[in-house]
Amino acid sequence: MNGPDRSESPGDGYAGGRADEGDRGPGDGPRRDGPRGAPDGPGGNARSGPDGPGRPGGPGDPGRSARRDRPRPATAPRVPTPRAAVEDSGVSLSGLADPGDPAPVPPDLSHDVLKSLLGAWALTACSAAESAAVEEHLGDCGPCADEARRLREAVGLLHQPESLDLDPGLRTRVLGSCLKRRPPRIPVPGWAAPYDAESARLDALLQDFEDEEWQAPVRLRWFEADTPASRRTTVAGVIAHLLSVDGLVAVALGLADPLAEPAGAPGPAGRTEACWRAAPRPPARSVRELWREQSHGLVRTVSFTGGHAGGLPVSYGDFALPLHDAMLDRAFECWVHAEDIAQAVHYPYDPPAPRHLHRMIDLAARMLPTALAERRRAGLSEPGRQTPHLVPAGAPGRSLRLEIEGEAGGEWLIPLDSPAAVGSAELEVAHVALDGVEFCRLAAGHVAPEDAAAGLDGDRRAILDVLYATASLSRM
């Protein structure tokens, strides 16, 4: 956006005319319009001053008067007016000259001097009078106008807007470089690295929040029985939700439960409701310290186990996950709810690193056969064109090929008729292709199955079952 230019009267434009008629000498005739260099009089003679026809060096000399009184064509300027430096100075605009004041009279400078001022003019470092002289000269001199345009473009390259946010991959690169020089005495297990990274990213997002941002409204979304569900809370309420559900992993590891009185319903929703009810007032900034301390404790504890506790069961109430999958589940929830918070405060937030996102997608794909079986037991699944049939455990069965695109992608064969069956390319009846982030948002309940941007081929009923089963993986 351009700043305030030189003060101009309503009648004068950038075309290069004088600021007003008062600048013309008493002997100057009325201003004439016409092509540049056209004869002024009927006979083509130069304009005469009071001393007679133009004498060399006299007031009527065409070489002297033409520069002062030659009319400018009413066309767009060849070079845009430079941005006023006051835009970047922070100085109040109230001290500037009133727009009705006459423009500064440009000094009579030689071509060489004006050419030497082009660099300063492009940087808006000239005085008002010098800028006026340069701008008038640019209307007459083509080479200088071209040079001024190139200088202005070069100045633009010096002021490229840069994001104040750090590169999301900077932390990983710095840590990787440090660990190459000195390997950690107690390394974080590979299956806990996604949670370590996502909890750190969320903590970095929260660190500069003001009190009003902690109370910004956030809507949690998920799917229940093929129906969208939601719950309204605040940024602080989301962190309290993560604190209470991460507590399931903490209890499995023998750490303290963050809830003073555990809920009667031990699942994520019951614990979250109990946490919200127990708060004497809406949770605010203090909840971040509790969640942060707990997340550090989880990473530290699983690191001290040497990675051997990955098979430890973590109960979610209705189901259980081994510890290595539970940590992936918590990493996924950190990312999903961090996006919810970032959206509430209008802040951009990037997906996880591809290697971590691939692990999260793999967990969801491995959970799909069980989710499909639960849909059949609940009467939510209908037979496709080919009749479902149970097969012995470990035997191949009807399958859907799930293709995830992008750096975190891959292919998974999802058995359709029994969670104990093995996916088979020979018995493939359908094919679904989705972007990795789109698949994760479907699994988080943020995208309706019918609205998912997916490529579909094969048994339509089987495809819908898998899409709805993916959405059913979501929870509050």
Backbone angles phi, psi at 144, to 5 degrees: -70, -35
- Residue showing tokens 């660190």: 207
| Both tokens assigned to 209 | 């929040």
**The pLDDT value given to residue 5:** 44
**The pLDDT value given to residue 56:** 46
Q: Give, in order, the Cα–Cα distances in Å from 52 to each of 27, 68, 111, 170, 217.
A: 10, 18, 29, 78, 83
Q: How many residues does the chain have?
A: 476
**The pLDDT value given to residue 89:** 46
**The pLDDT value given to residue 183:** 80
**The pLDDT value given to residue 104:** 58
Residue 234 pairs in a beta bridge with 217
Compute mean pLDDT per 10 residues along the chain, 476 residues long, and list them. Answer: 42 39 44 43 42 46 48 50 47 44 67 88 86 88 90 76 65 80 86 95 93 93 92 94 95 90 74 85 83 96 86 91 96 97 93 95 96 90 58 87 95 91 92 96 95 93 94 93
Instruction: Evaluate whether 136 touches 16 at the Cβ level (below 8 Å).
Output: yes
pTM of the model: 0.64
Backbone conformation region of residue 83, classed left if phi is above 0, alpha if psi is from -120 to 50, else beta: beta
| Both tokens assigned to 242 | 């993560």
**The pLDDT value given to residue 132:** 87
